[in-house]
A and B are shown apart, each in its own frame.
Chain A
Amino acid sequence: MATDENLCWLLSFYRTSEIGGALFFGQLARALRPSAIQRDMTRHFADEAQHARYWTECLERLHLQPLKLGQSYQDQYVAAAGLPVNLMEVLAITQVFEKRVVSQYALHSRIADLEPEVKETLQRIMNDERWHIEWVRDALKTMEADYGEGAIRETLTRFTEADRAVYRKIAEEHDERIDHLMLAQR
């Protein structure tokens, strides 16, 4: 089982990133004109805010205090990938990011001796994340006529490369904290 300090950091990191996602999508939901995308983005940001709540409650149940962390995953992401500046780029970066989240949460859910509170929270969030990936994928499909299938594919590839770079960097910086997650894979 992870040490309390490492677990607290990791769950706080998840929480901070969910808050970052909620704030970002909330701002976009506010800015968009009425449309199916506006509707789905509104639901998306509400989900992310709930996820931040779930992590907060999970930490409480484990008698841990959420840490105030400076940078969310999204902040580092944007630094690596650059700011998205149109709706297609926003959805593309969202798609890549959400896939990373699901992958990370799935990895975490498989570690041995996982705290039941953490396992339950991961499952709960992953159920929502599946819809997040689906609606964004469908929205990007509707944009192909406008932006071009090639441009969307190229954008997704570029953001995927940025995601891999950010993930590697975070893993290296915090290898001791998340090392036990990798051990579960062996």
Chain B
Amino acid sequence: MNIELNSRTHIKDRMSETLNQSRDALADDAELTSLVNSSFVLVEMIIDLQEELGVRFTQADMQDVSTVGALVDLFLEHGRR
């Protein structure tokens, strides 16, 4: 398994734990807002993962991010910087 796929898997595993959703629910095209009852849960998850992975992004970075896949890509992109 290459490093990026492993990281992708790890990120989704952590998202699954924080959002209390099965991995099946976290398909790349799943809309983030459909996974939670409250948008604040997404905030918690995103901040928690940033702290864990040692990356940081802003609202501007998140502008076009609405799906699980796009969010994972953002984490990976910032992780490579």
- The answer on a CB contact under 8 Å between A86 and B40 is no
**Is B61 within 8 A of A85, CB to CB?**
yes
Q: How far is the CA of A83 from the CA of B48 in the complex (A)?
A: 14
**C-alpha spacing A182/B42, complex, angstroms:** 36
Instruction: With both chains docked as a complex, state the minimum distance between the C-beta of B49 and any C-beta of chain A, in angstroms.
Output: 9
> Which residues of A lie under 8 Å from residue B42 when comparing CB positions?
83
Report chain A residues within 8 Å CB of B39.
Answer: 75, 78, 83
Residues in A with CB closer than 8 Å to B18 are 31
In the complex, A85→B56 CA distance in Å?
9
Query: In whole Å, how far is A64's beta carbon from the nearest beta carbon of chain B?
Result: 27
Is the pair B47, A87 in contact by a Cβ cutoff of 8 Å?
A: yes
Question: Please, which residues of chain A bring their CB within 8 A of the CB of B50?
Answer: 85-86
Residues of B within 8 A of A33 (CB): 51
Chain A contacts of B56 at CB under 8 A? 86
Query: B1 → chain A, closest Cβ, in Å?
Result: 28
Provide the bound-state CA to CA distance between A28 and B41, in Å.
9
B40, B58, B61: the one within 8 Å of A24 (CB): B40
Kindly list chain A residues whose C-beta atoms are within 8 Å of the C-beta of B5. none
Q: Which B-chain residue is minimally distant from A81 (CB atoms)?
A: B59
CA of A32 to CA of B47, assembled, Å: 8
Which residue in A28, A78, A82 is a CB contact (below 8 Å) of B47? Answer: A28
Q: Measured between C-beta atoms, what is the minimum distance from B70 to chain A in Å?
A: 13
Shortest distance between the CB of A49 and any CB in chain B (Å): 15
Query: Inside 8 A of A23's CB, which chain B residues have their CB?
Result: 38, 40
With A and B bound together, what is the CA distance between A74 and B39 in angstroms? 11
Binding site for B on A (CB under 8 A): 23-24, 27-28, 30-33, 74-75, 78, 82-87, 89-90, 151
Task: Using CB atoms and an 8 Å cutoff, list the residues of chain B in contact with chain A.
Answer: 18, 38-48, 50-51, 56-59, 61-62
